Structure 1
């Protein structure tokens, strides 16, 4: 069965996945084409400070009169960028560690897995907060910190899949005839774990977005004047009574985005389980 046919079969069986696909598609398009919107996200308007939603400002304005719709859009760009780039970093590290550990086994497996256990035993959010404080706060730092310290679960998952894949007959035969280990991993092991990796990667995006939002909310993530959904939530604390929409809107976007990426992961998992 072709991949497109599997996708259609899963979507017919679970039409709720359409919600996630449509929402993420619109969000990504909006983030990509945000610079084409003729509104300056940093332009202040003292005559319209903390104004409610209107035809002129559909999401209202913030405490210094900036259009809140464009602030949320640009915040979404940053949050998505952090999520995707941190996912790429954690996926690459976790995949390499998992493949090497699972394929070679023995002392290599023991050393790598004990290292993973040590990192996993440290409260992850505490570790990220400490590193964020030590390093200069900003976009590059937050991507580096989240990406380099969120790969442990992916490593364990890929290791388990590798242990299963290397017992297959074609892998055993390739080892028997003397194929190079790097070639076996590249041609036989990696394709076998790819579907699992894709599902895990979508989940790591939502995790990275949640972590960035938490750190920015605490004031050690994305720094002004750059906005992310987490930093918008932090700024909204002082305006909850007179402008509750300033907290509701970015919070709602975080919830919907995390839900959509998790649903996308479930959708991809269901596609891989379709026979054919």
Structure 2
């Protein structure tokens, strides 16, 4: 039977969509590993194969050898702690800043250009200044994470706070609701999806920041970035790629974790339109 005018188009079954979310990334991963094997086996000479060792060699040396795995997990934990502490500080600063911007236009006009400038300045350019001011320890590494991950939280939270329905605002005005009531009962709940989107973006950037900071601030426990630099200098391809894979997994886990938290907080009432 032909669907009439106004009849909604049939939706793809949820089971099909969920299977695609597994099948497509898995297919891409298998294709990537196959290309990796071809490049290492046929495009590199044996004397240069340390540049791109075989995937099974990376698996055996980095992950199936207990001593080497422990040598990677310690730095990975250090980078995880630094990334999460820096991200927590950035989240607190970013949310407060966005709330202030949403409540007073002059605050947004004053602070937003500096937030953009902070995002535009290469972190490597201000690393010497951070070192002079805070030294080469944990504080400097955390500060780098904060600087890298702050901007997406500010912009996404501000967008969410400013995107509330005008009709709902008028309703709150008619009820003579206070500014605090409007913020807590209308604006902030409506901004939660955008806030968690910003946190997901910043979570990956926080991991990058912790790795970048390892290259310059070497005091304290070694992070995964310092491990990458060490294995690079040693031309230890298997351990180098093992460290890179773990760093990538850390970023993915952080991204997925905040996606899960977002669904737990807003999933019961927020449903983005997906086709």
TM-score under structure 1 length normalisation:
0.66
CA, structure 1 residues 80+118, in 2 after alignment: closer, same or farther (shift >3 Å)?
A: same
Match of residue 101 from structure 1: 101
1:18-74 CA deviation, whole Å, 9 max, x = no partner? 98xxxxxxxxxxxxxxxxxxxxxxxxxxxxxxxx9989x9437xxxxxx33112112
CA, structure 1 residues 16+91, in 2 after alignment: closer, same or farther (shift >3 Å)?
A: farther
Give the superposition deviation at 1:195. 1.5
The separation in 1 between residues aligned to 2:17 and 2:167, in whole angstroms, is: 31
Instruction: Decide which of 169, 172, 177 is 1:174's aligned counterpart.
Output: 172
CA, structure 1 residues 110+126, in 2 after alignment: closer, same or farther (shift >3 Å)?
A: same
- 8 A Cα contact 2:83 2:207, kept in partner: yes
Match of residue 89 from structure 1: 89
Match of residue 21 from structure 2: 14
Structure number with larger C-alpha Rg: 2
Match of residue 153 from structure 2: 154
CA, structure 1 residues 17+189, in 2 after alignment: closer, same or farther (shift >3 Å)?
A: farther
The separation in 1 between residues aligned to 2:15 and 2:132, in whole angstroms, is: 47
Match of residue 191 from structure 1: 189
1:72-116 CA deviation, whole Å, 9 max, x = no partner? 1122211222222222211221122222212432x2221122332
The separation in 2 between residues aligned to 1:208 and 1:159, in whole angstroms, is: 20
Match of residue 4 from structure 1: none
Q: How does 1:1-276 map to 2 (within 5 A)?
A: 11-15=18-22, 58-59=64-65, 67-105=67-105, 107-128=106-127, 130-148=129-147, 150-165=149-164, 167-216=165-214, 218-220=215-217, 222-224=218-220, 226-240=221-235, 243-262=236-255, 273-274=271-272
CA, structure 1 residues 135+170, in 2 after alignment: closer, same or farther (shift >3 Å)?
A: same
* 3-state SS of 1:254 partner: helix
Q: Decide which structure has greater helix share.
A: 2
* 3-state SS of 1:15 partner: helix
- 8 A Cα contact 1:103 1:163, kept in partner: no
Aligned length: 223
1:208-267 CA deviation, whole Å, 9 max, x = no partner? 111211221x232x535x121111112223321xx3223121111112333454466678
5+ unaligned residues in a row in structure 1: which ranges?
1-6, 20-51, 61-66
TM-score under structure 2 length normalisation:
0.67
5+ unaligned residues in a row in structure 2: which ranges?
1-13, 27-57
Give the superposition deviation at 1:199. 2.2
